Amino acid sequence: MTKARLELVWPGKDKFMLVPKDAHGKPVWVERDHPAASEVRLADFTGIVGDVPEDPYAANLLFTGDSLDVLRILCEVPEYRSIYRGKVKLVYIDPPFNTGQAFEHYDDWMEHSTWLSFMRERLLLISDLLAPDGSVWVHLDDAEHHRMRLLMDEVFGPANFVASVIWEKADSPRNSARQFSTDQDYVLVYSRNIDWSPNRLPRTAESDSIYSNPDDDPRGPWLPGDPYANKPYSKGLYEKVGPTGRSFSPPPGRYWRVSEERLDELNDDGRVWWGPTGNARPSIKRYLNEVADLVPRTIWSKEDVGSNRTSKNEMRAIFAGVSSFATPKPERFMERVLRISTQPGDIVLDCFAGSGTTAAVAQKMRRRWVTSEILSSTVEQFTLPRLAKVVKGDDAGGITKAVAWEGGGGFRTVAVGPSMYEDTPFGVLLAEWAANVRFARAVAGQLGFEWQADAAPLCGVRGRMRLAVVDGAVGSEEIRQVVGALGENERVTIVAKSVLPEAESILAEVSPGSRIRKAPRDLLTSGARRMRRRTEASPQHTDQSTEGSRP
Ligand SMILES: C[S@@+](CC[C@H](N)C(=O)[O-])C[C@H]1O[C@@H](n2cnc3c(N)ncnc32)[C@H](O)[C@@H]1O
């Protein structure tokens, strides 16, 4: 009998979904060997704002492009892969919620199956990017929260579920609501590994205000602690006589937390409280100066982290007179996410940038960041100018004062290129732009070769394997040149648009172990193989999916 799994299924789950080019188009599910299911697109650096490190890949990065392409680039292109794969400490995403509502700046159009396919493809890549001590936070509302939890169980493993944070986003009830006025959004938090430990949050005046000092204890304010415990304890059953002669014993089924000798020691040290008249049940004092910072809780109030109104006001302060971005999140909200999950210098990724709150807060909190937004209009109108203001110290709002941000650092802008394939009635062809150096660069990224600009006739390296890309036909003359450029013990992968009949046998003779690949056919099959490996590596496929959950 086959072993059944607990799994959320939907039509087209095993296929790849093509996102329609415009908001009114219909999504189409295609087989996994379709070029779009595996293509790694070319990315071009397009600009610099502020100060950036010499290594362009190690700068903070603002991509304009689809999150899927950006995640693939980070996972697959060697120059990015060595910096980001397995090294991202926090992924926070606030994707389209699938609410069926048309927002002003993007279309929230997807049906449940479409949305699940869309998200699954991206989560599989996100899981590759997360550091062993990293975490992923997905911001949602009621439309998909419950389905997303099952999907995240599948991709990250149910034992890595950490919390479902509830954010009080509404300031006031919406009386026009047909049934309920919704007050909250959710953020699903999963860790890469089960032993993930969140940072504690600094204590606040409010959390400290419950401590007091009615007996002027020189150790400062304290809270009365429960003297009883539920756990059986061999020295935990005795009768204790208090200062006024009244005697106390644990209630049935409970035990003193400490032995009688220890209680006497604490009492002699002034650490036991018998009430204002000395006649109450003893409490063991818990001093404010001995308690740790605060463990994060799952309900985040608008007073603590701001609401939708807060973020709208933040937008207005940055972009006076411009109609606001539809769905920004408050900076204090993002500050809390970053405090819990990262340290200064850690890499933060948000591939649904919107107005750029995650990157803005990461910059102010001295984290490294990568973010991407699909709409160039949103990047131009909101994300880029906002982040430029942060870098220049021209954004006095949000958390700027709280974290003493005065500007500094910088970032690079990156554009994701168009597809190098064209799906035509005659099969998949190479796009017209895929020629010369751009074709060679695209092939290098696609096959995971590090790009080498000055090594002609070679153009890439992966261990002892070199890459040569021929924008035309490969025959004996090209093979002679390429093999002549190889170092000792090196082999070559030659990618060409057409292959002359004798080429493969000549190459096998002069450089055994080298190979010829025809574009686009062989690029597509190698991409499909790579993506299949990723899908099969998710917990659902490695059989750790349904057992156990975090205590
Ligand atoms: C809910 S908003 C994010 C808001 C953001 N957290 C902020 O504070 O401004 C979602 C954003 O994702 C963008 N988006 C939608 N589909 C995308 C995709 N496939 N790749 C990248 N961005 C996408 C939308 O254009 C929109 O700006």
**Rounded distance from Cα 359 to ligand 1 centre (Å):** 13
Q: Please say if the pLDDT value at position 544 is more than 90.
A: no
The 10s digit of each residue's pLDDT in 103-120 is 556 565 568 888 999 999
Q: How confident is the model at residue 542 (pLDDT cuts 50, 70, 90)?
A: low
**By percentage, how much of the chain surpasses pLDDT 70?**
94
Task: Give yes or no for a contact between 152 and 188, defined as CB atoms under 8 angstroms apart.
Answer: yes
Within 8 A by CB and 6+ apart from 171, the residues are 302, 307, 308, 309
Task: Give yes or no for a contact between 482 and 494, defined as CB atoms under 8 angstroms apart.
Answer: yes
Test site for ligand 1: of 105, 310, 352, 364, most ligand atoms within 8 A of the Cβ: 352
Burial of 242 (0-12, 13-18, 19+ CB in 10 A): middle
Q: How confident is the model at residue 546 (pLDDT cuts 50, 70, 90)?
A: very low
State the Cα–Cα distance between residues 359 and 374, nearest whole angstrom.
15
Test site for ligand 1: of 369, 371, 374, most ligand atoms within 8 A of the Cβ: 374
Test site for ligand 1: of 126, 310, 373, most ligand atoms within 8 A of the Cβ: 373
- CA of 325, closest atom in ligand 1: 9
**Rounded distance from Cα 374 to ligand 1 centre (Å):** 7
**Rounded distance from Cα 396 to ligand 1 centre (Å):** 24
Q: Please say if the pLDDT value at position 31 is more than 60.
A: yes
Q: How confident is the model at residue 414 (pLDDT cuts 50, 70, 90)?
A: very high
Burial of 356 (0-12, 13-18, 19+ CB in 10 A): buried
Task: Give yes or no for a contact between 119 and 148, defined as CB atoms under 8 angstroms apart.
Answer: yes
Q: Please say if the pLDDT value at position 545 is more than 80.
A: no
- CA of 354, closest atom in ligand 1: 27
- CA of 92, closest atom in ligand 1: 6
The 10s digit of each residue's pLDDT in 435-483 is 999 999 999 999 999 999 999 999 999 999 999 999 999 999 999 999 9
Q: How far is CA 25 from the centre of its chain?
A: 28
Helices 521-536 and 436-447, axial angle in degrees (round to 10): 30
State the Cα–Cα distance between residues 92 and 423, nearest whole angstrom.
34
**Rounded distance from Cα 155 to ligand 1 centre (Å):** 21
Burial of 70 (0-12, 13-18, 19+ CB in 10 A): buried
- Residue ranges around ligand 1 (CB below 6 Å): 66-67, 94, 96, 106, 325, 327-329, 351-352, 354-355, 357, 372-375, 378
Tallying the residues shown for the chain, one arrives at 551
> pTM for this structure?
0.88
Look at residue 323 in the predicted model and tell me its pLDDT.
Answer: 77
**Rounded distance from Cα 451 to ligand 1 centre (Å):** 31
Q: How confident is the model at residue 162 (pLDDT cuts 50, 70, 90)?
A: very high
**Rounded distance from Cα 225 to ligand 1 centre (Å):** 47
The 10s digit of each residue's pLDDT in 39-70 is 999 999 999 999 999 999 999 999 999 999 99
Task: Give yes or no for a contact between 389 and 355, defined as CB atoms under 8 angstroms apart.
Answer: no
**Rounded distance from Cα 393 to ligand 1 centre (Å):** 25
- CA of 95, closest atom in ligand 1: 10
The 10s digit of each residue's pLDDT in 310-322 is 999 999 999 988 8
Q: Taking Cα atoms as reference points, which of 401, 331, 344, 404 lies closest to residue 199?
A: 344
Look at residue 273 in the predicted model and tell me its pLDDT.
Answer: 97
- Tokens 């940072």, residue located: 199
Tokens of 265: 């020691």
Question: Helix or strand or coil: residue 140?
Answer: strand
Give residue 430's identity as a one-letter amino acid code: L
Give residue 9's identity as a one-letter amino acid code: V
Q: ∠381-385-388 over CA atoms, to 5°?
A: 165
Q: How confident is the model at residue 523 (pLDDT cuts 50, 70, 90)?
A: confident
**Rounded distance from Cα 76 to ligand 1 centre (Å):** 23
- CA of 378, closest atom in ligand 1: 27
Look at residue 107 in the predicted model and tell me its pLDDT.
Answer: 60
**Rounded distance from Cα 379 to ligand 1 centre (Å):** 10
Average pLDDT, the chain: 92
- CA of 118, closest atom in ligand 1: 19
Q: Taking Cα atoms as reference points, which of 66, 67, 65, 43 lies closest to residue 56?
A: 43
**Rounded distance from Cα 4 to ligand 1 centre (Å):** 36
Look at residue 33 in the predicted model and tell me its pLDDT.
Answer: 82
Tokens of 242: 């208090």
Average pLDDT over residues 107-134: 89
**Rounded distance from Cα 128 to ligand 1 centre (Å):** 21
Tokens of 301: 């109030």
b/e burial code for range 536-548 (CB count within 10 A of at least 16 → b): eebbbeeeebbee
The 10s digit of each residue's pLDDT in 226-253 is 999 999 999 999 999 999 999 999 999 9
Half-sphere exposure of 282 (CA within 13 A, CB side): 26
**Whole-Å CA distances, 406 to 82, 236, 335, 391, 395:** 31, 57, 17, 8, 9
**Rounded distance from Cα 504 to ligand 1 centre (Å):** 47
Task: Give yes or no for a contact between 67 and 352, defined as CB atoms under 8 angstroms apart.
Answer: yes
Test site for ligand 1: of 17, 90, 92, 106, most ligand atoms within 8 A of the Cβ: 106
**Rounded distance from Cα 272 to ligand 1 centre (Å):** 55
Average pLDDT over residues 155-166: 97
Average pLDDT over residues 131-141: 97
Look at residue 540 in the predicted model and tell me its pLDDT.
Answer: 61
- Residue closest via CA to ligand 1's atom 17 equals 374
- CA of 19, closest atom in ligand 1: 19
State the Cα–Cα distance between residues 510 and 505, nearest whole angstrom.
9
The least confident of 15-24, 128-137, 167-176, 343-352 is 15-24
Look at residue 189 in the predicted model and tell me its pLDDT.
Answer: 98
State the Cα–Cα distance between residues 118 and 107, nearest whole angstrom.
14
- Residue closest via CA to ligand 1's atom 19 equals 66
Higher pLDDT, 338 or 539: 338
Q: How confident is the model at residue 100 (pLDDT cuts 50, 70, 90)?
A: low
- Identify the sign of the CA torsion 488, 491, 495, 496: positive
Average pLDDT over residues 376-402: 97
Within 8 A by CB and 6+ apart from 178, the residues are none
- CA of 329, closest atom in ligand 1: 8
Within 8 A by CB and 6+ apart from 327, the residues are 94, 103, 354
The secondary structure of 397-444, three-state, reads CCCCCCCCCCCCCEEEEEEECCCCEEEECCEEEECCCCCHHHHHHHHH
Within 8 A by CB and 6+ apart from 533, the residues are none
State the Cα–Cα distance between residues 116 and 127, nearest whole angstrom.
16
- CA of 106, closest atom in ligand 1: 25
Q: Taking Cα atoms as reference points, which of 339, 385, 340 lies closest to residue 365?
A: 339
Q: How confident is the model at residue 547 (pLDDT cuts 50, 70, 90)?
A: very low
- CA of 351, closest atom in ligand 1: 21
Q: How confident is the model at residue 161 (pLDDT cuts 50, 70, 90)?
A: very high
Q: Are strands 222-225 and 161-168 parallel, antiparallel or unpaired?
A: unpaired
**Rounded distance from Cα 147 to ligand 1 centre (Å):** 20
- CA of 357, closest atom in ligand 1: 8
Q: Taking Cα atoms as reference points, which of 147, 6, 306, 259 lies closest to residue 138?
A: 147
